[in-house]
Every structure is written in C-alpha cells, then in structure tokens.
Structure 1
Amino acid sequence: MKFRSLAMAGALALCAAQSHAEDFTVGITTTGIPFTFVDTGTQKPTGAMVDLAAAIAEDLQMTPEFAITQFSALIPALQTDKIDVISAGMFATDKRKEVVDFSTPVYSYGDAAFVAADDAGAYQLEDLAGEVVGAQIGTTFADQLQAKGIFSEVKLYDSLVDIMRDVKLGRIKAGFGDKPIVAYQIAQNPGLGVKLVDGYTPMGVGDVALAVSKDKPELLDQVNAAIAEMQQSGELAEIFGKYGL
C-alpha cells in the first residue's frame, strides 16, 4: 500500500507473526454511517473506520475479518475475545478506558440534536427541559443526557434510525447522536422526516479511536505505529476525506 516504509512494514509483520493470530477480527456496527455501514450494492462493510482497519491489517500483514455487532455489544465482544479490535465511531472516554485500551485518536467531533422536519425551534439543551428525548444505548450522549436530569425521560434505542422514526412520529421531542453520522444520514435520506437543529451547541467534543483489549498491549503498539505512519503520510486524512469527514 502506498506511503508504507519497508522498514516499518517488516517490523510490524515480525511483531504480528510473533504475538497475534493471522486473522484480524474487527468489530463494527452497521448504523454508523459514514464510519461503519454496509454498502447496499456490494452488501459488504464499508466506511471510514472500515477502510482504516483494513489499512492497519495490511500493515500488520493480517487478514481483516469484520464482525457486525450492535454498538452496545462491541466492548463485551472485545473483552471476551470474540473480536481483536473495535473500529467504529466510538469515543475514547474515561469510563471506557477503565475496561479497554484506546489507540491514538483518529477523528474528533461532537453531538448533534435533531427534531421533526417541520419543527422550527432553534433549541439548546435547556430549551428541551421537561421533554422526552432519545439517544442510542451505550453512547456517551445517552449518559450525558441522563446526567443532566432536566428531561421527563431519556429513551434509549438500539439504533439511530429508530430514534429518527420516533422523532418524525412525534413520540419524542428530539434525538441526539454523532454529528457526522446524523448529518450524513439526513443528507442521504430526505424522507427520514427529521432535520438538524441549527446553532445547537454540542455537549462536548470527543476523540474517536480504535479499542483493544487491555491484555493485548503488543497489538495496541502495532495499531498505534500504523496510525502514526498514516498520519505522517497523509493517508489517514485521505481515508476520512473519502467519506466527507
């Protein structure tokens, strides 16, 4: 692959051969467009984090195998060795760092709020006090919304699409999710019946990174070395730029 140095490739290949299996099982979700999703034409996993994991696997001279998993089940799958790494739109939070190790950050962004397409409100969080809002189970946004303590209910959903459906139908006032993912889905699917809240201030900005089991420090070192090479060469920016990130 372009931009790879022979010295680094050789060193990583040696480490991989000594410390890890030939297969490189990557946990992803199908609802994380444009980070991780299934191409409807090929029916194969694709997205920025899929391409990144494939490039890392090539550096390690391993064969990437993508395991489609619900977002909330990704960390449990990693802890039980069902997968080797998580490569999704997952923030490297302090809480998650207690149970898994994260790579060097590869992308940063905040949350977005969305409402029904015919809702003209320019909401901030405080404006939604007393309302029912929704977020995806297992996300940092769900935890942050619940910690606010200002909503009548924070409903938890398995997927972003389910949240958008309930917002459109008026079952909940607003939904929250990863801004790049929400923006991409709305742009690609006008029929969803929801829109981003203009001027909304995110609860925070997080760093996306790959997650590795705490008992595999050698693999984490190899992943970080590959990321560093891609950052230096510009390939990392190319991968994310391909998906409008």
Structure 2
Amino acid sequence: MTLSLSRRLVVCALLAGGSFSLFSSTAQAFDLAEQGKLTVAFTGDMPGSGWQDGKLIGYDGEIMQKVAEKLGLQVQPALMEWSGTIASVEASRVDVMLGTMGWTEKRTQIMSLSEPIHYFKNGIMQSSKTNWDKLSDLEGKKVGTITGFSFVPELKKISGLELSLYDTSDAAVRDLIAGRIDAVIGDPPVVSYAIKQNPDWNMHFLAFTDTSPDFPLLTGLGQVVYGFNKKNDDLRQKVDGIIAEMWKTCEMKAIGERYGLSADVWYTPAGENFRAGVDRAADYKLPSCAAGG
C-alpha cells in the first residue's frame, strides 16, 4: 500500500542519516528540545508529511521546512505514530508536531496552536459502490478511525455505529479494502491522496453534507494547525508571523497544488469560526487565499 510504503521510505531515510541543510546561526534563542534545531514530530502519512533528501516534504512538512529555514533553525525529524505526537509536545521531547491536525478547543488547553495552514471538511472514505455523505448513513455500520482523533467521541454517539480504532491510517484502509469495516473516517487530505494514488482500490471520499451543532468536529469547518508546547508560545508567535506572510502571497496554495490540494475549499474558510474568543481575540478573522491567487 502507498501509505505504508511512504512510511517505510521515511524510516529508511532517517536511518540512512540523510544530509541536513545548515542554516544561519543567528536563530532566536527559543527554549528548544535541542538548541539550534527545530525538533518536529510527524507521522509520515502523505500528503501531509514525509522526509526526503534531508528535508520535510508533504503539505504540512514543506511549510514547516520553510518556516524552520526562515527562523534559522535546522530541522530535527522525529517520526512517530499519531498517538505519540501530542504527548511528545507536552513532554517537551519535541518542539512542534504536525500531521494534518485539526484545531479543537480541547487541544488549546494542552498546546499552543498555530494559525491554520489550510481548511477541510471531514467525510467518509468508502467503496465506490456507495455514496454515503450524512451522519445517518453511518448508523449500524462498522467504521474505522485513528486513535486520538478529536471527533472519536462524536462518532461514538452515532446510533448503532461499531467503531474500530487504529494506530495508523494504512491499517484502517487495509481493513476497509478487505471488507472487515464499511468505512474510514480519517484525515481528508490523507485519504484523498491515498485514493488518487491507488485507483484499483475502487474507493472514493465524500465530505459530510450535514451541518450539525451536535457534531461540530465531524461536520464543521476544519482548520489544520501545528501544535507547540505552551511554554514555547513565543516560538508559535514567530511561526504565525511567517504563516501570515505565506497566506498573503498565496504560497500556501502554490505548495498545496504540488500535493493535490488545488481546490479553493482548502484555502477559503466557509463555516463558523470557532477560534474567535477562544485562543484568539473575539474579532479574529481567519486567513484566506482568494480564488485565482
């Protein structure tokens, strides 16, 4: 499978001690896990993140690589399962985590979260023989998702849904292809990328058409962010400044197009802004890249 192969390539690159780029020694003295380096926890699930030729790749990864270079820091890669990324940030073993992580109010209580790098709508990965796009379509179905995903409690509220939790996206997809489960609710960019790379799976992804206040994480506007240790909020603010500039120039979209994220939906916030008054000011506006930018 493509996803597991991409992770194996990442591991091989790390074990091979791929060359690192050396950046300016004028980096600000942040409180880092290792001085002079930005230690980044990532999952290796494309199109979000990967490691190639001594650099982070993927949509999340390429943006973070550019951020590190602008900060004058050398990227120190820390490949791990999704379930370990947030805990590693909390324990200060890494400086930042990425992996198409969605913003949630609960996560603001344990981490300092960056500005969004793109937006998304959750949905259902399923056989091309079905066209499920509502929460009610999942009633009585066997559904897989990833341990630690924010919307797991909401999935458990769906009537008759039999939920299976997996450590990795590729494990969940394997069971879907084998018919052991009926659907996968995963990171939209990850599953969309996997489907595009593997047409023989005969799978497709449909975003939820529901907009339910009882299921805000499943049906609301998703914001992909980076997570920092709260004691490193100064680092997060510096990163946010760089991200803001990338939005202004539409560099976000230029990077996204390299990984199949070309539609305006990824770069235009459409839905309620849950962050205003939570971890941002009450008058906070979400960034966007205008169509055609």
- What's the TM-score once normalised by structure 2's chain length? 0.71
Which of residues 127, 131, 136 in structure 1 aligns to 2:137? 127
Matched, 1:36 2:36: no
- C-alpha change, 1:131 and 1:221, in structure 2 (3 Å) is same
Matched, 1:17 2:17: no
State the match for 2:114 in structure 1.
103
After superposition, residues 80-229 of structure 1 pair within 5 angstroms as 80-117=91-128, 119-146=129-156, 148-197=157-206, 201=210, 203-229=219-245
- Write the letter of the residue equivalent to 1:137: T
Q: Is the contact made by 1:113 and 1:200 (CA closer than 8 Å) also made in structure 2?
A: no
How far did residue 90 of structure 1 move? 0.2
How far did residue 13 of structure 1 move? 8.0
CA-based RMSD of the aligned residues comes to 2.4
Q: Is the contact made by 2:143 and 2:163 (CA closer than 8 Å) also made in structure 1?
A: yes
- C-alpha change, 1:44 and 1:192, in structure 2 (3 Å) is farther
How far did residue 123 of structure 1 move? 4.9
State the match for 1:51 in structure 2.
62
C-alpha distance in structure 2 between counterparts of 1:164 and 1:18, whole Å: 39
Determine what percentage of the aligned residue pairs are the same residue: 28
User: Higher mean Cα deviation, 185-194 or 218-227?
Assistant: 185-194
Matched, 1:74 2:90: no
- C-alpha change, 1:233 and 1:196, in structure 2 (3 Å) is closer
- Write the letter of the residue equivalent to 2:78: A
How far did residue 59 of structure 1 move? 1.1
How far did residue 236 of structure 1 move? 2.5
State the match for 1:230 in structure 2.
246
**Structure 2: stretches of 5+ with no match in the other structure:** 1-23, 211-217, 262-293
C-alpha distance in structure 2 between counterparts of 1:194 and 1:186, whole Å: 6
C-alpha distance in structure 1 between counterparts of 2:40 and 2:208, whole Å: 36
Q: Is the contact made by 2:96 and 2:229 (CA closer than 8 Å) also made in structure 1?
A: yes
- C-alpha change, 1:233 and 1:127, in structure 2 (3 Å) is closer
C-alpha distance in structure 1 between counterparts of 2:109 and 2:146, whole Å: 21
How far did residue 120 of structure 1 move? 3.3
What is the CA deviation profile of residues 71-120 of structure 1, one whole-angstrom value per residue up to 9, with x for unaligned ones? 11111001111110112200111111110010111111011212234x33
User: Higher mean Cα deviation, 194-203 or 104-113?
Assistant: 194-203
- Write the letter of the residue equivalent to 1:23: K
How far did residue 198 of structure 1 move? 7.8
**Structure 1: stretches of 5+ with no match in the other structure:** 1-11
Aligned positions, number: 229
